[in-house]
Structures are given as structure tokens and as C-alpha cells.
Amino acid sequence: MTDFLEMRNLTMRFGGLMAVDGLSFKVAHGSIHGLIGPNGAGKTTTFNMISGFYTPTSGQILLRGEDISGLAMHEVARRGVVRTFQHSTLFAELTVLENALVGTHMPFRPNIFAAIIGWDREDRRGAEARAREALEFFGLEDLLDERAGDLSHGHQRALGLAVAYASHPDVMLLDEPFTGMNPEETRQMMELMRRLKADGITILLVEHDMQAIMGLCDTITCMSFGKFLAEGGPAEIRHHPAVIEAYLGGARHVA
Amino acid sequence: MMELLAQTGLNAVYAASYISLVAVGLVLIFGVMGVINFAHGELFMAGAYAVVALYADMHLPFFVAVPIGMVFVGVLGLVMERGLFRPLKGNPLGGLVASIGFLMILQSLAVMGFGVRMEHIPPVTQEVWRISDKVGLPVARIYVIVAAVVLLSALWYFLKRTRFGWALRASAQDPEAAALQGISITQTARIAMFIGAALAGVAGALTAPLVSVNPHMGHSVIVTAFIVIIVGGVGSLEGAIIASVVYAFVHTFVTTFSDGVLADIVGLMLMLVVLIVKPTGLFGSADRA
Amino acid sequence: MLKPMMFLLGAAALIALPHGLSFSQQEILVFMVINILLVMSYRLLTLTGEWSLGHVVIMGVGAYASALMTKNLGVPVPLGMILGGVAAALLAVLLSFPLFRMKGFYFLIGSFAAGEIIRLIWKRFREPFGGVRGISGIDPMPDFSIGFYSFDFFEPVSYYYFAGAIVAFCLWVLWRIEKSPVGLTFHAVHWQDKLAQASGVNLRAYRTLAFAIASGFAGIAGALQAHYVGTVNPNSFDIEVMVFVLTWAIVGGTTTFYGPILGCVLLTVINEIVLRGMGFEQARPLFYGAIMILSILFLPNGLESIVQKFIPRKSAAKSDRKAEA
């Protein structure tokens, strides 16, 4: 496996607060990589820097060797790194299919003049096929015309992933994808992620649900107070003394 | 030259006085209710017409007409609160449209009651306070300055020293937290609306003998007030006062040394630059919009 | 079969319409057609979630540009109208640099300031804008004949047909844009700008695109008006006109394509024909203001919400797919 996505000395300062402090780690191509840490460890901030939501105070994010730190979110997305959001951030007023169609924005870039004259039939058909494919992948094919805001919580989560998946990403950044899910939904979601991996997509996820993280990830990076703490496979991390200490009294969570 | 500068400075102080009365009222309403009162200029106009009716037509003493006009416009504010802004809570665009509707009603009533022509009111006093031969200020303008200082000081005392004022500031900062503290949002909204409207009304009433009163006079007033509250930072009363002074000086000086339209352009440019560089205003910190 | 029939019937009604009206009502009709284009271009801007207070001034930019080009440079009127739209669109691109640093309330106020500055520039500079009195003696649209019908532009009916055809074409373009992936992206930018951006949408580019298209059509509307009236001046594009546009959009509703048209037609008829007909000359703004307040209080989702009650909601994608099939 090659160095695909690499964080080098990432630092983010908000006023006097060091949210992330000199964080470095690498994500291997085709792996599922977990980013964990106690509350306030700076996971979400790291995430926001990688996706282009924040510009790092210093440090670099290298994608296939290219520095992408400080690029706007859509520029990062266009390089194949697509994120999802915490909670159910969707186009609630649009239908399920329309949501997925927005996801196909990158592979099928709209052209206004072609659209007016009607010379974009091919593209529209292609976009719709891709959107349907993505929805099918996440088991949403029967809900095409539902308003996204009317979907159940689990379906909204799946749709969030489908929108990201529709864009043919290389890397998917998943922000707490298991929050608020019951064990059955979590199990299904884990299965979907394994299928994404089998599809060749690299996944970096931030998560609290240790059960899911341990069962899913190839590599786990643990951070604490904005700093790198430990890295390794699930078994390694589970028994890592520094990790156990960081989750103070939280040995049972890590178990 | 020195004399012209001094005279222009005095004129600017006068302009700053009535502008700050209007702008502070607008900020107060926006702070507590979260709506932009587009009819604020027409509240100013209503205050001016109150003086036309009571002082010029019914020959009441000027200093009786002004407080009556002030209370009358305050009551108009209460009508707006009850009739428009309370039912449209949580719909800022709706509140804006409703206030435009109210603006048209007030304008139309003024046209029907007094005609479109400009009203010239007999002067309250012809006296001029002179500093030198060439520099001086009509006493009628001094009334406006004094009233602004007194009223804004009273408002400041009210906001900082009384329980009502505390409630008002709390609900301007965080309505939900204020409600949890047992502050009645409806009550504070009513007070803010009354005070805000009354301040615009008294500014209109006091300046009525000094300007030409007409049904469309509110337009330039609201534009000025917008510039001032943006430059001062939306939601900041102190900012509104400081910005009033800044704007009045810039505008008066450009008007005197060049022309009025250019002064308007400069004022708007000032606002646009502030919006681009620091949208929260030069003196504002909290961002409520 | 039903749909083309309805369409033909509607077109026939629109063609017959002015013949049942008085001369002054025909003139109102011409303005209404132009205003429909104005409010519909405004709606395109609101699709991305921004409400501007400078749209009428942008319309004025088209009017001034077309008037000046035809008058001073000898540009033919039809070309001048198109160039008026282009000028308005270009200015919008320019304005987007300062204005799109703002959002929501600040954009509203910022667009107002920018508009007022443009208007004051017209007022201040007599060369070439004619100052307060503006430009008069603007070339009218030259008469022409299309075989079965001769356009005589001293007749409001002729101008109604001419403007109506242009407006219909512009509305068709606006409709095509909205129902295209570009339109979907506008909606996406409105409802969840962050998620849209994460899907690779360049927010600035799409906001600017919507602003430029909306302004271009507003500019064409302005040019149509300028060559009909024959004069332009700064006051014909002031905030009071903007207020009318705003109320047409809000009273009609902006979530559907027909909402603003509904608002524009109904309020124009009430204001210009009903209230005028009842003899309320001075009290017209009073009634108009009252209607605005009542409709915002009791119909917060616009007139379109009444229509929607009777027509089951169809999603944009659904109707599109039917059209494709």
C-alpha cells in the first residue's frame, strides 16, 4: 500500500486554543481508517481541515503527494475527497433522487447552455443512472420520490452516504456515521462500509462507537488534547496503555 | 475658512443629534424583535405631522405638541408590535414586508390628511445663538441637540440601571435564555417597540419646523438610519450613536464643500466598505443576523 | 392531447386579451408583461437563497445602457435591448465581488447600498446619464411587419405582442434553467450550501451565475420598458419600485414557477384596475399596504399555496422524467 493521504504536522489554533497540535498520520489507499479520541481531542477539527472546511494554521495535507491544505471544500471534493456531515445534513426540501443527483455534480458537470438548448440529454441520463446506482447501493431505490426531510433517521444517514458515493469519490470522510443508531442499524452500516471498501474507496471516519470502530477499521489513530497519541490495528489500540489512560476510567468503553 | 469649518461642525452636531435618535430606535427594535423596521422613516414622518397638526394647525405650544407627538408615535409602534411583528415572529422576511405595508399606509394617510405638498411650519423661535459674527446655531436646532442628549442619556440610564432595561438587554442578547430567566418576551418587545418608535417620533417632531415636512420625507431618513446602524454594528446602541456622529460629520462636510448627492454617495460607500471589511460593524461584536 | 390544447387555448386568450381592454388598461398590460419578466428574473436569484434590494436598479442599468447605446452610438434598438441585458449581467458579475462577501440580512442591505450608489451616480452625472431628469427621446422600437401582422409601436397592443413574445421566450429560458441540473444546483446551494460544496459545487460561481442571469433578464426588462416609455430617469428605478417587486414575489410565493406571476398579475390588477376603478386615487397605497399586510399575515406561503392545495405536489425530478420518457 502506498502513502495515499498524509497529514503532516497539522495544527489548528482558534485564538488562544490549540485545537490540533502538530498531528501527523497516514491513511493507506483502500483501507478503513478510524480517528478516535476522547471528547475535545480535536477529531472533528482535523476532519474539517482535511475536507477544506477549515484552513490549517500550519502543516500540510498531502493527497497523492499534492498539498491540498487550505483549498476550498469544493476543490478538495474535486480531487476525490468527499465528506459527510454529522447528523442528517441533507437537502431536506428535495426528493431522495434529487439529493443523489446533486451528488453527481462532479462526474456530470452541468452546463447551462447545453441545458437550455437540450443538448445535455446524455449527461442527464448518465447522472440519473449514477444517482440510482448510488441509491440502490444503500438500499434506497424504493424511496426515490420521497422528500428527504420525511425519511426515517436511518434512511437519512444512508442517503447522506449515497450523496457522497454518487460522486465517485476516492476517499470518503465520514463524520460520526453511527451516532444515534441501534445495534441492528449499526451492523447494516458497517456492512455498507465494507462494501464501499470492496469498491476501492478509502474511508476515514471519526467515531465514538468503539464496537463499530474496532470491528471495522484496518488502522486506528488515537488523538488526545489535539496531539497524536497512538496508532495501530484494533487489537493494538485496544490494549494500548496510553489509549486506555486517555479514556480515563473508560477502559470499559475501549473493551 | 476657519469660520466655515466651525459652522459646518455645528451643523454636523445638529444632524448627528436627530440621526442618532432615529438610529438608536431602529437598533433597539432590531435587537429585541429581530426585524428590520422599514417603516421607521415613516414613524419619523408621523412625528413631524403630529407637530404640523397640533402646533401649526391647532396652535398648541410647541413644547406641548412635541411630547404628544412622541407618545402618539410610540403608540403607533405598539400597534405595529401587536398587529405585525408579534404574529410574524420567526419570519423576518415577513416582518420586513409587513413593515413596508405599514409604511405605505402611513404615507397614504399623510397624503390624504395633509396633501402631497410640503408643509412649512411657523418657526418656533427666530433666535440664533452666536459664537461670532459668522458662526452660530439657530436656537431651534439647539433644542434638537439638547433633546437628543437628554433622551439618549435617559435611555442609557433606563437600560443600564433599571430592571426593565436589564430584561430588555438580556432578551436582545439571547431571547431563549432571557425567557428561561422569566423575562416576558412580549413585554420587552412592547417596551422596545414603544421606545424605538417614540424616539423616531420625537426626532421628527423636533425637526418639523426646521425641514420641509412632506409625506415622503421618511425615505432619506431610513436610508441614513440604515447606513448608521450598519456602520455602527447592528445591535449596538453605542455603535449607532458613534456612527451617527461620524456619518453626520462626513455628510455635512461633503455637502458643504461639494454637493449633497456626492455626500449621499460617500455615505453609502462608507456603509458598503464596512459591510465588506467588517460586516459586524465598526463597533459591533455580536452578530445576531 | 389535452396539454397542447390547453396551451393553444391559453395563447389564444393572451392574444385576444388586449382587444377587450381600454387604452389605459392596454398600457397597464404592457407594463405588467415587462414586470412579469422582472419578478421572474428576481425569483431566479431567490432560488439560491439571496434576497436583493438592488434588482430594480439592475433593471435600470439595462434601460440606461440600451437607451444610451441606441441614442449615442446608433445601435439598432433590438440589439440595444440585448446589449442592455448583457450590460446588466456584467455589472452583476462586478457587483458580486463585494456583495457575495455578505449573506442574508447583510446581503439585503449591501445590495440596497450598491443600488442606491448606482442610482445616485445617474443623478449626479449629467454626462452621459442626464442627471435627475434622465434621458428622454429614446428611440422607439422600429415598426415592422411579419406578413400577417404589422407592428405599429405607437399602439400598446403591438408592443404588448412584441414584449409578450420576448418575455415568453425569456420565461422559457428561465424554465429550462430551473428544470436543469443547473437549477437543481441552485436549489442545493440554497438549502444546504455546505453539503453542496462537499459535493464539489463551487458556491461562489453558482451564486454569481444566478445573480448574473437574473440581472441579465432584469436588464432586458428594463430595456423593453425604456424603449416603450421613451424616457428613463433615476426615480423610475427607486426603492418604491423594488418594494413592488418584493411584494409580488412574496405575496405570490417563490417556491413554484408560477407563484411570482400570480402575485404580479393579481396585485397589478387590484392596484391599477380595481382600486383605480373604485376611484381611490390617493388611498391606493393605503389599500395596497393593507393587502400586503393581510396576505403576509394570513397567507405566509403566498398565493401559490392556495393553488398547491388543489394540485397534488409534483417534484421537479418526477415531472422531468415524465418529459424524458
Greatest extent of chain C over all pairs of C-alpha atoms, in Å? 58
CB contact under 8 A, A105 and C182: no
String of DSSP letters for C202-227? -HHHHHHHHHHHHHHHHHHHHHHHHH
Which residues of B lie closer than 8 Å to C, measured between beta carbons?
36, 83-84, 87-88, 91-94, 97-98, 100-105, 107-109, 111-112, 219, 223, 226-227, 230, 234, 259, 261-262, 264-265, 268-269, 271-272, 275-276, 279, 289
How far is the first Cα of chain C from the last one, in angstroms, to the nearest whole number? 16
Identify the residue with better confidence: A230 or C34.
Answer: C34
CB contact under 8 A, A89 and C192: yes
CA distance C168 to chain A (A): 14
Mean pLDDT of A155-162: 90
Is A102 an interface residue toward C (CB < 8 Å)? yes
pLDDT-above-90 percentage for chain C: 53
pLDDT of C325 strictly over 60: no
With cut-offs at 50, 70 and 90, classify the pLDDT of residue A248.
low
Mean pLDDT of A25-36: 92
Phi, psi of A249 (to 5 degrees): 65, 10
Mean pLDDT of A219-224: 91
Is C234 an interface residue toward B (CB < 8 Å)? no
Q: Is A1-80+170-255 in CATH node 3.40.50.300? A: yes
Query: Coil, helix or strand for A9?
Result: strand
Contact A58, A11 (CB under 8 A): yes
Chains A and B touch (3+ CB pairs under 8 A): no
Residue C321: what pLDDT?
A: 38
Residue B117: what pLDDT?
A: 79
Is C286 an interface residue toward B (CB < 8 Å)? yes
**Partner residue facing A112 (CB), from C177, C184, C202:** C177
C-alpha cell at C228: 416603450
CB contact under 8 A, C285 and B107: yes
CA distance B211 to chain C (A): 22
Residue C1: what pLDDT?
A: 65
Mean pLDDT of B84-104: 87
Alpha carbon C162 to chain centroid, angstroms: 16
Is C292 an interface residue toward B (CB < 8 Å)? yes
Residue C104: what pLDDT?
A: 78
Cis peptide upstream of residue A183 (ω within 30 degrees of 0):
no
Alpha carbon B289 to chain centroid, angstroms: 20
Sequence spans of domains, chain B: 8-217
Query: Coil, helix or strand for A109?
Result: coil
Residues constituting chain B? 289
Give pLDDT tens digits for C268-277: 998 888 877 7
Task: Tell me C234's DSSP state.
Answer: G
CB contact under 8 A, C194 and A97: no
The rounded distance, in Å, linking the Cα atoms of C131 and C120 is 9
The rounded distance, in Å, linking the Cα atoms of A186 and A199 is 20
Sequence spans of domains, chain A: 1-80+170-255, 93-168
Q: State the virtual CA torsion across B82, B87, B90, B91 in degrees, nearest 10.
A: -100
Alpha carbon A216 to chain centroid, angstroms: 14
Query: Coil, helix or strand for A173?
Result: strand
CA distance B263 to chain C (A): 10
With cut-offs at 50, 70 and 90, classify the pLDDT of residue A247.
confident
CA dihedral sign of residues C55, C56, C61, C62? positive
The rounded distance, in Å, linking the Cα atoms of B65 and C55 is 41
CB contact under 8 A, C176 and A95: no
Is C285 an interface residue toward B (CB < 8 Å)? yes
Secondary structure element (H or E) that encloses residue A136, with its range: helix A121-137
Greatest extent of chain B over all pairs of C-alpha atoms, in Å? 61
Give pLDDT tens digits for B4-23: 888 899 899 999 999 999 99
- What's the per-residue H, E or C state across chain B? CHHHHHHHHHHHHHHHHHHHHHHHHHHHHHHHHCCCCCCHHHHHHHHHHHHHHHHHHCCCCHHHHHHHHHHHHHHHHHHHHHHHHCCCCCCHHHHHHHHHHHHHHHHHHHHHHHCCCCECCCCCCCCEEECCCCCEEEHHHHHHHHHHHHHHHHHHHHHHHCHHHHHHHHHHHCHHHHHHCCCCHHHHHHHHHHHHHHHHHHHHHHHHHHCCECCCCHHHHHHHHHHHHHHHCCCCHHHHHHHHHHHHHHHHHHHHHCCHHHHHHHHHHHHHHHHHHCCCCCCCCCCCC
CA distance B139 to chain C (A): 33
Query: Residue C168's CB: how many other CB atoms inside 10 A?
Result: 15
Give pLDDT tens digits for C61-88: 999 999 999 999 999 999 999 999 999 9
**Partner residue facing A51 (CB), from C182, C198, C201:** C198
pLDDT-above-90 percentage for chain A: 46
CA dihedral sign of residues A160, A161, A166, A169? positive
Give pLDDT tens digits for A69-110: 889 999 999 999 999 987 778 998 899 999 999 999 988 888
Is C127 an interface residue toward A (CB < 8 Å)? no
Interface of C with A in 186-205 (CB under 8 A): 187-188, 191-192, 194-203
Please report, for chain C, how many H helices and E strands are present, in that order.
Answer: 16, 2
Secondary structure element (H or E) that encloses residue A206, with its range: strand A202-206
Query: Residue B184's CB: how many other CB atoms inside 10 A?
Result: 13
Is C214 an interface residue toward B (CB < 8 Å)? no
Contact C9, C215 (CB under 8 A): no
Average pLDDT, chain C: 88
pLDDT of C7 strictly over 90: no
The rounded distance, in Å, linking the Cα atoms of A104 and C200 is 9
**Partner residue facing B101 (CB), from C112, C121, C292:** C292
Q: Which residue, C56, C79, C62, C28, is CA-closest to C223? A: C62
Residue B92 with chain C: CB contacts under 8 Å: 105
With cut-offs at 50, 70 and 90, classify the pLDDT of residue B284.
low
The rounded distance, in Å, linking the Cα atoms of A223 and B157 is 52
Query: Coil, helix or strand for A61?
Result: strand
The rounded distance, in Å, linking the Cα atoms of B270 and A246 is 53
CB contact under 8 A, B275 and C113: yes
Phi, psi of A110 (to 5 degrees): -65, 145
Query: Coil, helix or strand for B185?
Result: helix
With cut-offs at 50, 70 and 90, classify the pLDDT of residue B287.
very low
Mean pLDDT of A185-209: 89
CB contact under 8 A, B105 and C123: no
Identify the residue with better confidence: C323 or A64.
Answer: A64
C-alpha cell at C195: 453539503
Query: Coil, helix or strand for B153?
Result: helix
Contact B244, B16 (CB under 8 A): yes
Phi, psi of B208 (to 5 degrees): -50, -45
Mutate to test the interface with A, among C172, C173, C199 (most CBs of A within 10 A): C199
Show Cβ contacts of residue B191 under 8 Å, excluding neighbours closer than 6 positions.
B164, B168
Is A74 an interface residue toward C (CB < 8 Å)? yes
The rounded distance, in Å, linking the Cα atoms of A196 and A216 is 12
Give pLDDT tens digits for C83-109: 999 999 999 999 999 898 888 778 888
pLDDT-above-70 percentage for chain B: 96
CB contact under 8 A, B97 and C283: no
Is C246 an interface residue toward B (CB < 8 Å)? yes
With cut-offs at 50, 70 and 90, classify the pLDDT of residue B65.
very high
Count chain A–chain C contacts defined by CB atoms under 8 A: 116
Give pLDDT tens digits for B236-269: 888 889 999 999 999 999 998 888 889 999 999 9
The amino acid sitting at B57 is D
Question: In terms of CA atoms, which chain C residue is nearest residue B36?
Answer: C105
CB contact under 8 A, B279 and C102: yes
Phi, psi of B161 (to 5 degrees): -115, -15
C-alpha cell at B136: 452660530
Neighbours, chain B (3 or more CB pairs < 8 A): C
User: b/e for A63-84, b at 16 or more Cβ within 10 A?
Assistant: beeeebbebebbebbbbbbbbb
Is A132 an interface residue toward C (CB < 8 Å)? no
pLDDT of C315 strictly over 70: no
The rounded distance, in Å, linking the Cα atoms of B74 and B21 is 13
Phi, psi of C182 (to 5 degrees): -65, -45
CA distance C102 to chain A (A): 17
Residue C182 with chain A: CB contacts under 8 Å: 110-112, 115
Residue C319: what pLDDT?
A: 40
The rounded distance, in Å, linking the Cα atoms of C30 and C220 is 14
- The number of C-alpha atoms within 13 Å of B95 and in the hemisphere containing its C-beta is 20
CA distance B125 to chain C (A): 34
